[in-house]
């Protein structure tokens, strides 16, 4: 199995190299790219990296106690695109989270999500306050939203539907921000924003996608070292569920996010093993993502 994926290699490197210094649930590296911003005061961008990481890593987001080696590896890469006024930033962000695979040194990507509406206000030495039931600022609401979504996906990967309370917490953050006027929180301007990702996560029609997270990881990847044939069979069954959900809600954000995180990994997993299964996986992926058909042919080459 491949150890990394070109589209997210940078963030995975940051996650792996980040020193352990916190005792909460997340082990998150924040990177702020500010090359497009014309400013002589660069300290604020360095401060963003430090303070956003502290906000995510120092705060307790879950009820359970996490040991240091249980903390969730994640990374947030913020690209500042413009500064319309002092302290006001238009940006995009890539959020990545991973979980360890049993009996291996491999970490599987759980989330690889691009947010095109990551716009916020921040000035030097600004306190980062957050309340789960109140909208205080767009930056803390966005960071809090991603903390909950990272936890929810991680819990779902170890226990069937185990992340429910954290999906509900993320949905509450969305509801709090509905009247803020900031982009990304409403259902009208995009089908690939925070609103729809959270809505998909609590939609009963999409619940099989959450079951896929459990079956793919715990019944698939975690078995790969000791029983690769059974692991591949279980992953194939999970992919059939993805296909069924896609028929009900074509190209929903939860399906797109799953494919963004898993496509390279699936190609690697099924580049060996039973040829009949490989052909079935190829057909499923080709139907889900026709534009990547040439890439999927690697599954059939061996």
CA angle (58 as vertex; 41, 166 as ends), nearest 5:
115
Q: Please name the residues in contact with 263: beta carbons below 8 A apart, sequence gap of 6 or more.
A: 285, 289, 292, 295
Q: What is the pLDDT along the chain (302 residues), one digit of tens a residue?
A: 333 333 454 555 555 444 444 358 999 999 999 999 987 678 999 999 999 999 999 999 998 888 888 999 999 999 999 999 999 999 999 999 999 999 999 999 999 999 999 999 999 999 999 999 999 999 999 999 999 999 999 999 999 999 999 999 999 999 999 999 999 999 988 889 999 999 999 999 999 999 999 999 999 999 999 999 999 999 999 999 999 999 999 999 999 999 999 999 999 999 999 999 999 999 999 999 999 999 999 999 97
CA end-to-end span of the chain: 14
């Amino acid at each position: 199995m491949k150890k990394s994926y070109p589209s997210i290699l940078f963030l995975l490197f940051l996650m792996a190299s980040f020193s352990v210094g916190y005792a909460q649930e997340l082990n998150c590296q924040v990177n702020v790219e500010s090359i497009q911003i014309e400013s002589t005061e660069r300290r604020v961008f360095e401060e963003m990296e430090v303070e956003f990481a502290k906000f995510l890593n120092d705060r307790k987001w879950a009820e359970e106690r996490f040991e240091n080696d249980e903390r969730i590896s994640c990374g947030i890469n913020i690209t500042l695109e413009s500064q319309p006024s002092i302290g006001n930033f238009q940006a995009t962000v890539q959020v990545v989270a991973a979980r360890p695979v049993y009996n291996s040194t491999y970490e599987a990507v759980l989330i690889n999500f691009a947010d095109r509406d990551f716009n916020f206000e921040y000035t030097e030495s600004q306190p980062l306050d957050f309340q789960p039931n109140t909208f205080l600022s767009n930056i803390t609401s966005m960071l809090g939203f991603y903390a909950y979504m990272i936890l929810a996906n991680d819990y779902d990967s170890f226990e069937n539907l185990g992340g429910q309370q954290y999906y509900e917490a993320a949905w509450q953050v969305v509801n709090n921000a509905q009247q803020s006027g900031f982009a990304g929180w409403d259902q009208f301007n995009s089908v690939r924003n925070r609103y729809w990702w959270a809505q998909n996560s609590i939609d009963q029609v999409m619940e099989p996608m959450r079951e896929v997270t459990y079956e793919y990881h715990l019944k698939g990847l975690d078995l790969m070292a000791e029983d690769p044939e059974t692991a591949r069979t279980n992953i194939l069954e999970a992919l059939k569920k993805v296909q069924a959900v896609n028929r009900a809600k074509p190209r929903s954000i939860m399906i797109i996010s799953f494919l963004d995180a898993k496509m390279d990994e699936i190609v690697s997993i099924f580049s060996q093993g039973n040829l009949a299964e490989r052909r079935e996986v190829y057909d499923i992926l080709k139907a889900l993502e026709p534009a990547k058909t040439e890439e999927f042919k690697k599954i059939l080459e061996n």
